[in-house]
Amino acid sequence: MEAHLCLSLFLLFAFLIPFMVVGNAELRALMELKSSLDPEGKILSSWISDGEPCSGFFEGVACNEHWKVANISLQGKGLSGWLSPALAELKCLSGLYLHYNNLSGEIPPHLSNLTDLVDLYLDVNSLSGTIPPELGNMASLQVLQLGDNQLEGNIPTQMGSLKQLSTLALQYNKLTGQIPLSLGNLEKLSRLNLSFNNFSGTIPATLAQNEHLEVLDIQNNSLSGIVPSGMPLSYFKDYIFITHLSLYILVYCRLGEGFQGRNNPGLCGVGFSTLRDCNKDQGLNVNHIDTSDGEQPKKSNSPKALPEPANVQLHCDQTHCSKSTRFHQTVITASVVITTLTVICAGFFTFFRYRRQKQRIGNTSSSSSEGKLSPDQPKEFYTKTPSALVNIEYCSGWDPLSNGQNADAGGLSNEYLNQFRFNVDEVESATQYFSEANLLGKSKFSAVYKGVLRDGSLVAIRSISVTCCKTEEAEFVKGLNLLTSLKHENLVRLRGFCCSRSRGECFLIYDFATMGNLSQYLDIEDGSGHVLDWSKRVSIIKGIAKGIGYLHSNEASKPTIVHQNISVENVLLDHQFNPLIMDAGLPKLLADDVVFSALKVSAAMGYLAPEYITTGRFTEKSDIYAFGVIILQVLSGKTTIGSSIRMAVESFRFDDSVDTNLRGKYSKSEAATLSKLAIQCTHELPDQRPSIVDVIQELSVFPAHL
């Protein structure tokens, strides 16, 4: 009996020990990672040495069905440490999201051991050093975001081994050297952003072979050579005509507005508004296209000019080919080539237009993206696809209403949207050709200008780069339909829109709010600005609640809308200090990565609901959390809500929580109600927060404030 018991215990321990070892290894790795990412231990306090990583209590950690760490989502958390090699011990990690922090140091090459990693987001930090060549061994990697850091050196040629990579973003670094030829091996690459570096040399010809590439951003570098819009004719292997044609089709036709090449002094091309025209000598030189890897030494051959037609000799088997150099054969050959190329180009354009037509038709039945998960959503919680990034391939211009079916996809006709259309002349005239004097604000994806229409009315005009907009035209038109249908007294009214191919931008024309945004009335030092009296503060809070209530309602004219980015910066005030929520529905027009990048400010200011870190999902309760933060800001008159203010609010100590600029001129009963409401709205658990209907009901007992 004892022998059987001993055997059973032995087998049990033999079965459990491997799992205990793995669990302990992951826990040790997480604790080392905590020490490096958060040296002061102020942010990752929930990561404890005797805890269980998959219990749900480790902030930002999500596990798969095998109880292995699969995702770490700590974007925008204010981390100021460095990356520990211990990350390599998390063997099942599929998503690492550490963007929008202040991490420094180098990228550890040990990350290459994470062979299951799909998404690697390290952008918007202070990382330095070079890009480890070992990253080329990460066979599953689909998204590599390293932009907005201080990385130096070349792009390793090994990056060409990432066969699953769809997005490579290296913008805003200090990278140098040539763009490696090996990037042409990335057959699934759809977005390549190398802007704002110091790359030199030419555009690799191998990129032209990638039929999935839809965005190529190389602006603000030191690149040279020609982006061709016209091709030389030659059958010689020494001259890479097919390469010219492929690169031309890639850049000029297929990418269209998805190509950004401005501010490269040595780069030229015909037909590109952001490039200078090529001179005659450049037009004849075909050696400007790089067919060798940027890291390989180049031969010092002098540039060859194309041979004169009379000297054309076909390279082929001498037993089957004539070496005749007679002039008429040359003319015939050239004519045949020209005719053939014309037919090929015509066929390409026809096929391209047909494919775009099919895409538009297919998109008419696509469902609304409301509630769609963000790019950093853990892999196990949904079917994984590459992060949704911008895909623009308009060749003949950008007009989202050029096809009636696009408008139909939004549920409304062209006639409806046409009444909101402005032309470029009106927009340019209103802003005095986008004068800096009229610039109200600017972000990475848009700029806002003050304008005056021809009827004398004031407007605010938001310009958005085409490359930041929705991938599919039908989805973009759906967004336009939604924005134009939103009508409420506490929303900024959209007057119309304009899409310009020549400028590569879309413009949204809004009513102008004369009293600025709500943030201008916070942090007012005694006597230094306009202090909002108590009645205005209450009225503003009530108006914001009504605006959110309209967005969250489900009506025949609109679906339920989650704003996703409510803040004092996004609340404008009209001449009577009525609050107007701006940017309602704007995410419906923007690419997912652009929407995600806008969360940096929200996270830093405390508007981002805590559950977003673990779920990656916005709900109505996310807006309620942000609204609660705004109540605290309006009550205290402070932009930053520290722990002392929050504790004073929770204790109803109004002397410490209500703006001292009011000099005691406020209703304590109303302050008590607003304090209670703010505490409820900012509850850590979304289920404990009230709905906007409950909020409006609570505020309705307040007397009318004029």
Q: CA-CA distance, 37 to 41, in Å (whole number)?
A: 9
Q: Which CATH number fits domain 152-275: 3.40.50.720, 3.10.129.10, 3.80.10.10, 3.30.110.30?
A: 3.80.10.10
Measured between its terminal Cα atoms, the distance across the chain in Å is 88
Q: Is 86 left (phi over 0), alpha (psi -120 to 50) or beta?
A: alpha
What is the mean pLDDT of each successive set of 10 residues along the chain, which is 706 residues long? 53 44 76 92 89 85 86 83 92 87 92 91 91 93 91 94 92 93 88 91 79 84 71 31 47 58 81 68 44 42 36 37 46 56 59 45 33 32 29 35 45 69 85 83 85 85 86 83 91 90 83 91 78 94 96 86 91 93 90 75 76 83 94 93 89 91 91 94 94 93 68
Bridge partner residues of 442 (DSSP): 447
β-strand pairing of 167-169 with 152-153: unpaired
State the angle between helix axes of 668-681 and 692-699 in degrees (0 to 180), rounded to the nearest 10: 180
- Please indicate whether the domains covering 152-275 and 515-705 agree at the CATH topology level: no
Structure tokens at 200: 């030199």
Residue 322 CB neighbour total at 10 angstroms: 11
Structure tokens at 347: 């066929």
**E strands within 122-185?**
143-145, 152-153, 167-169, 174-175
Provide the Cα torsion 12, 18, 21, 24; round to 10°: -80
Cα 120 from chain centre: 14
Degrees to nearest 5, angle at CA 93 with 89 and 94: 155
CA dihedral sign, ordered 531, 532, 535, 537: negative
Could you give the C-alpha distances from 548 to 554, 561, 580, 626, 694, in angstroms and in order? 12, 9, 10, 11, 12
DSSP letter at 516 equals -
Q: Of the candidates 615, 678, 672, which has an alpha carbon nearest to the alpha carbon of residue 646?
A: 678
Whose tokens are 């007057």? That residue is 495
Q: CA-CA distance, 87 to 542, in Å (whole number)?
A: 47
Structure tokens at 538: 């209450």
Asked if the 417-512 domain carries CATH number 3.30.200.20, the reply is yes
- Please report the DSSP string for 450-493 in residue order: EEE-TTS-EEEEEEEEGGGB-SSHHHHHHHHHHHHH---TTBPP
Q: Of the candidates 422, 406, 416, which has an alpha carbon nearest to the alpha carbon of residue 462?
A: 422
R_g of the chain computed on alpha carbons: 30
Q: CA-CA distance, 491 to 584, in Å (whole number)?
A: 7
For domain 22-117, give the fold. 3.80.10
CA dihedral sign, ordered 175, 119, 54, 11: negative
Note whether 618 and 564 are within 8 A (CB). yes
β-strand pairing of 152-153 with 579-581: unpaired
DSSP letter at 382 equals S
Structure tokens at 591: 């690419």
Cβ contacts of residue 15 below 8 Å, gap of 6+? none
For domain 515-705, give the fold. Transferase(Phosphotransferase); domain 1 (1.10.510)
Listed by start position, the domains of the chain span 22-117, 152-275, 417-512, 515-705
State the angle between helix axes of 534-552 and 620-636 in degrees (0 to 180), rounded to the nearest 10: 170
